[in-house]
Every structure is written in C-alpha cells, then in structure tokens.
Structure 1
Amino acid sequence: MSSPFHRIIAQCPLVRSALLAGALLTIGAAPNPPAAAGTDRTTLEALRAADLRLGAIGYRLARANAALCSDLAPVTGMIVHAIDQYDVAEQAVARSIFGFETGIAVEAVVPNSPAARAGVQANDSIIGINGRPVPATAGGGHVVTRDAFAAMLDAQPADRPLAMVLRRAGRERPVIIPASPGCRTLFELRIGPSLDAVADGRLVQISSRFLERFDDSQLAVVVAHELSHNILRHHVRLEAAKVSRGVFRELGRNGRIFRATEDDADRLGVHLLRNAGWDPAAAVAFWQGPGAQIDGGIFHSRTHSSAGKRTENIAAEIAAIPPNAPIPYLPPVLKTRDQPLE
C-alpha cells in the first residue's frame, strides 16, 4: 500500500537489503541492480548507519505495539544481511567490512535491545538458531538467502528465548537472547531519490530520501503510518474488496475505500507513536509542515486525504485518547481490522 508520497520506487546503483532480525524485523534496500563502480568502505558504512537508523525506529515501534498485533515474531534488535544481497563485484569489500564467515551476518545491533544485552555485535556471523543451521547461499536472486533466513526466524516462537551460535574471527560462541515478542513486519530501506513509503502486509519499505530529509521523530510518523496498514490488514482486505490498484484506483469506490484505509492508518499511527514513547503531536506537526509540502496541494492523489484533512483527523484522534489511557493503549480503530472494506 503506497503512502501519499510517491508511487514509483526509484532504483539506483548499489541497492541491497538487510534484515532487522530478531525474528523479524527486516530492513535494508530491496533487490540489487549491479553495484556502482568503486564501492568502498565509506559507502557500505553509510548504508550500515542508514539501516541502523531505520532499524532502531522499526524496532521501537514493533516492540512497543506487540499488544496491538495479531501476528507476532521475536524482535531482538539485530539487523542482519546476506552476502548475496551484494553484487558479486562488491562481495569482497562486503566480506572485509562485515565479516561474513557464513552467508548471514549481523550488520548492526540496536542499542539496549535484547540482542545487544545478550552480547550480539556487529560483524558477528550467524551459524544457527535454535539448533538449526542458517540457510546456505544458493544464488537465484539477491533476496533468496535473506528471505529464507527471514522465514526461519519467523518460525521461531516469539514468547521464548532465542538460542544462537555466532562466529567471529574463526571462533564460535553461543548466545541466548531473551524472549522479545513484537509485531511481525519487515522494515526495509530502499536506496533512491524518490520519497516513497510502501506497506504490503508483511513489509514496510521506506526510501532513503526520507532519512536525508527528516529527523527521527518525523521519520517515525511515516514508519508508524505504514506499519498501521499492516496491523490493520489493509492489503488483504483491499484484495478481498476487489479494489483496483491500477489506473482506476483514484476513481469512485476505489478511491473512497483507499482513502478510508489511509485515514485509518493515520489514526492508528497516533497510538503506535504514543505507545512507543513519541509525542503523537509529532504527526500533526509533520502534516502541517513537511508533509504538507510533500502532499502536492491540488495535485495530491484522491486515494489520500489532503494534508489539511489529515492534520484535522490526527488532531481529533489525539483529542479522543481517554485521560490516563494506559500504555500500550488499544484504540477503537483497531477493531476495524477484521471488518470488510465497503
């Protein structure tokens, strides 16, 4: 499901994915075109920093809102990537920077997360999880190994500790990560110049341009909105309602239903932010300021309310939060996720 920003995901040289694992929060850049010439340590370290920044926001939202999610997975705070997510021409550089003593390695770890407290470190390679070896790299595409590892993590119980065997500098060590349930969603960074945010029921994908233009509280507004689509099951509900995603998506019933899902994602996003410790008023400020500039004025898509209307809806949702509401709070909009879209 596309956010109000852009509809086309741009591609550029050097695009690869990483996974914010903990079983599963996944982040990174989506399938690779060929690597840019001259890929070096500075470039890959910049990618690591960007992945960690988005990963920390996704981790915080997914963990704090576990009570709102019907589909849970272990969310440990590890950001994990696979060697074959990198083009063949850059794999030697990637190995020298990230370790990769196996096909799966830890790119970064969210500070103070369960993985960090268990002693997991960036550049650890992963041997196995709960007695099972990590998937072997087998070619077939830049996300095949990543997705196999994601499926493996998904299969682990969210309410139990995660036993891992790691390798670093040729030495293996076991670690136990405490149970860390959170919302089962992959958070992925896509490298490109467009402002684009997408949710498809399993994935939240954010373009790198957002990280360049916005601070963390503003970025959290965008990520929370997209995560809300997944929590509210909008992707599957739109399919069940046979809503057109093509050239007619803005017209008549299609546009009305799309707009309703976007408004509901804005409403739920307020509570995801609040549950995760952000001031939900940041969403009001976002749509009054930078969001209004992105919106496009009279050219905004009819699948989305205008920036002004979104500001109004979000402010009303904040005002409706009961005094002394608990954290986490389960808002009324959550009840819509099992209702058909009409």
Structure 2
Amino acid sequence: MKGLRNKLARSKRKEQDNFSRLWAAVRHSIAATFLIVIAPAQSHVLADSLSAAPRYQRALNVGYRLQRGNAGFCPVLGQLTGWITHDIGAYDKDVRALVEARQKLGLGLGIAWVAPGGAADRAGLKAGDVVEAVGTTSLSSLYVDLVRDRASATRTDRLESWILTKMVSAPQILTVRRESDRLKVAMTAEQGCTGAVVVDSSSKGLAWSDERNVALTARLLSFLHSDDEIAFVIAHEMGHIWLREARVQRAAGYGGRLLSIDSRRISEESRADLVALTAMRQAGYAPEAAIGLLSRIARDDASHKGGPKAALQKRETVMKSTITEQTENGGRT
C-alpha cells in the first residue's frame, strides 16, 4: 500500500511539473508576439513560431469564457484575473537583453494576454502593459532572487499569487507602465471555475486534464473548425475536473448539480461529455457542435486512444439525446 501511495504521489508531481512547463510555454509563445523577431535557435524559450500564438490566444479566450460563464454551475469557484503574465526571469539569460529592448519589463510583471471581457480587460489593462507596483509595494522588491540564469515561471507564478491574494479582500490600485506613460488602474479579480487552459506545442496526444488545469495540443487545436468545437474539447476536460470536485463534495456531505450526471449509468467519458454540453450552453456556445466531432477526430488520428468506434458512437448517441432533451426544456439540464 505504501508503495502504491508513493507511486501515485510521484505521478501527481509529474503531472504538476508538466502543467508548470506548459504554462511557461504559453507565456513564452504569446509574449513572443511582441518581440517581432524570433530569438536565436539555440534558445528554447522563444522557439514556438509566431503563427502559433493566435491559435493559443483563441483557446485561452474560449477557456476563460467557459470558466466565467459556469460560475453558477461548477462545484468549486476560484479567483480569476483574465490575464497571462511574464517577467524577465521567464527567459533564459542569453535572450534577456532582446526581451528587455523590446518590452522593457525591468522587474515588473508584463501582461502578455488579456481575456476579452475579463477582470483585467474591464480594468482597462492591455497586452503589452507592465505592472510595476500594487498599492505602495513595488514589484521590483519581490522574489528578485528567483531571477536566475535559466528560464523559469516560478517568479511569475509567485507574483501572480501574491497579487491575487490581495485582490481577494479588496480592489487593488496597480501602477502600470504603458509605453512612456504611467497609469493608476483599479482592479479586482472575479469568480470562476477551475480548469485554466494551456496549449501544448507538441504534436503528441490530444487533450487531457489534471486536478485544476486543462491542456490541449496545438495539433488538435489546428484541427478544430470553430470556437464551438474548441469549447467542447475544453469543456469536456473541465467536466472531468468538476466531476471529481463534485465527488469530493459528496463525500463531505454536500449536494450539487453535477451529482445527477455523475449518478447516471454511462461511461466516465460520457459523463464529462454531458457536463461539457451544459457548460457550453451556459457560456453561450452551441452544444450541437459536439455531434460528429469525436468521429471526425478518430478518423483523422490513427493513434486515437479514446476507445473503439462503438464506444465513440455510444458517446455521441448519449450527447444527441441530451441535446434534444435540453432543447425541449429550454436549455435546462
């Protein structure tokens, strides 16, 4: 039993390390759009092509909209900022001069992406801004020891966590540098669901989730035809996370809207599908986009690990029946 626990703990740490790596890759790829030129090939930090960044941003936009739009549906809520940030420590030492020349981060927190309609967007923040201080605290005084020779997302994560903790209690006044101007911006976080999205630039696999995050590959993203299809893939993986959270709540004696889905005599994948259909509708996406998508992915991907054709057909049959039922009930589950 002890050996099994140790194996599970190692597996969990590996998952967390993988998602930390993916978050760093997303930051680097999106931030690279501001650099105009690609860094030398020997630096892995900016290795993603600029053409990939718009696809990444599209998935991030869809994921954030699903998180916000399901605040009344998912079991566990957290604080969302609606930005992806980066700092100088997120780049290898050999490209920092190039990054600094283009973006002038200093020891501040650069904003690489802002979700349309999200907390940062409503506060007036824009991609390319640099947060220099929160209240009376300059970010140049925080976690400076984490800026080391090799690229790491650790300082960025620490700064984000510190800011988010302060925003939980009250709106915060941010000192923001925008080109040659300095602005004072009031911002607070908003509530939303777990399931932050990252995009893996590798060509292996399709999509997966850990306890709090969703990942999909750039290969899969390039295959999807619309935001509605992207929403289904992301919401399906969010469904796995939310169902696990619902079971934890049930074990603690709490009820929840997901428990009726969880108790149906269907496969785990179909349960996540049904959560996804409701999540899509709640966020304003068309659940009908899911019909036929699984079969199309399976036909295109010879290495598909989602199960035999019969299993996919069963999942789609359940989805079709549920979409019809939801439509007849005015969208209610």
Relative to the length of structure 2, the TM-score reads 0.69
More displaced 10-residue stretch of structure 1: 58-67 or 142-151: 142-151
Structure 1 distance, partners of 2:195, 2:31, is 10
2:143 equivalent in structure 1? 136
Identity %: 23
Query: 3-state DSSP class of the match of 1:107?
Result: strand
Q: Counterpart of 2:26?
A: 17
1:190·1:208 contact (CA, 8 Å) conserved in 2? Answer: yes
Aligned twin of 2:61:
56
> Map of 1:21-170 to 2, 5 A cutoff?
36-37=41-42, 45-129=50-134, 134=139, 135-137=142-144, 138-139=146-147, 142-156=152-166, 161-169=171-179
- The structure-2 alpha-carbon separation of the partners of 1:40 and 1:66, relative to structure 1 and needing over 3 Å to count, comes to closer
Is this contact kept in 2: 1:82–1:105, CA < 8 A? yes
CA displacement 1:43-94 (0-9 Å, x = unmatched) = 5644543332221111111110111234323334322223333333333333
The residue number in structure 2 matching 1:214 is 224
Change (3 A) 1:91 1:160: same
Residue identity matched to 1:94: V
Find the counterpart in structure 2 of residue 340 from structure 1: none
On the 8 A contact 1:163/1:177 being kept in 2, the answer is yes
Structure ranking higher on relative contact order (CA contacts 8 Å, 6+ apart): 1
Q: Which residue of 1 aligns with 2:280?
A: 273
What residue identity is the alignment partner of 2:26?
S
Q: Equivalents in 2 of 1:224, 1:68: separation in Å?
A: 12
Question: In the aligned structure 1, how far is the partner of 2:310 from the partner of 2:88?
Answer: 42
After superposition, give the CA deviation of every residue in 1:120-141 in whole Å (9 maximum; x if it has no partner).
1111112244665555340476
Question: 2:228 corresponds to which letter in structure 1?
Answer: S
Q: State the alpha-carbon separation in 2 of the partners of residues 322 and 72 from structure 1.
A: 27
SS in 1 for 2:158: helix
Q: 1:167 to 1:188 in 2, by over 3 A?
A: same
Gaps of 5+ in 2: 1-17, 33-38, 252-265
Asked if residue 320 in structure 1 is aligned to residue 330 in structure 2, the reply is no
DSSP 3-state at the match of 1:66: coil
Task: Describe the shift of the 1:148–1:39 C-alpha distance in structure 2 as closer, same or farther (beyond 3 A).
Answer: closer
Letter in 2 for 1:86: Y
Cα RMSD (Å) of the superposition?
A: 4.0
* Bigger Rg, which one: 2
Q: Which runs of 5+ in 1 are unaligned?
A: 1-8, 20-25, 29-33, 241-258, 332-342
Separation in structure 2 between the aligned mates of residue 127 and residue 189 of structure 1, nearest angstrom:
28
Structure 1 residue 265 displacement after superposition: 1.0
The CA distance in 2 between the partners of 1:159 and 1:67, in whole Å, is 21
Q: CA deviation at 1:228?
A: 1.4
